[in-house]
Structure 1
Amino acid sequence: MAINLTNLNSRSLQLDQARSTQQKANVNSGNSAQTSPRRVAQGDSVNITSQAKNLTAMEHDLAQGTPVNESKVESLKKAIADGSYQVDANKLAKNMSNFESLLS
């Protein structure tokens, strides 16, 4: 995500000065109730990258739920429970290696 930080320090200084001036005015006028300073938009911007947009879309899709093959899930649970599920160690190792290479 890209954030434009141009002139951030000068804007913070301007806000601090405005707050200080407002507080002094409140004290001088006898107004003891605190008022919050008004924030004026000064052209700050946030740029959302396409990667962030894709991530948001994927999060939305995941929140909607993915289709699940319930019959396959049940058959796998049954095979695991009765001990008939067999793991192909070579295939598992190859898939783990392929996945690891995708991460780097």
Structure 2
Amino acid sequence: MDIKLPIGNNLRTDGPAAGGKPRGSPLQADQTPVTPKEAAGESVTLTDTAKTLSSLRGGAQDAPIDKTRVAEIKSAIAEGRYTIDNQRLAKSILDFEGVFT
């Protein structure tokens, strides 16, 4: 019995899929070998902007939380007394995003 496979079938039993590169193949011109930082002796230098952003991010983790106010809001939500002023919320969002300024 003669079995014919459809044209373009990329099934292979003797290695990687058609079009793939076998392991250990040479690097292409646009590829660079990956080596551990210690072995290559590389270093990273941060810009002043990156340093500023990093320091700000660290401070944001320590933002003060008014636990009393949080408890009041939770209580108001649970009791159905918490209302949202849609106009005030929309204005705050627009002010924050800098729209119409």
TM-score with structure 1 length normalisation?
0.49
Aligned to 1:52: 50
Amino acid at match of 1:97: L
**RMSD over equivalenced CA pairs, Å:** 2.9
Aligned to 2:83: 86
Identity of aligned residues (%): 32
Aligned to 2:69: 72
2:63 is paired with a residue of what secondary structure?
A: coil
Greater relative CO, 1 or 2 (CA 8 Å, sep 6+): 1
Query: Alignment length, in residue pairs?
Result: 65
Gaps of 5+ in 2: 1-31, 33-37
Determine which of 49, 59, 62 is the counterpart of 1:61: 59
TM-score with structure 2 length normalisation?
0.50
C-alpha displacement of 1:62: 3.1
Gaps of 5+ in 1: 1-11, 13-37
Higher helix proportion (structure 1 or 2): 1
Amino acid at match of 2:78: A
Moved over 6 A (4+): none
Q: Distance in 2 between matches of 1:62 and 1:90?
A: 28
Amino acid at match of 2:70: V
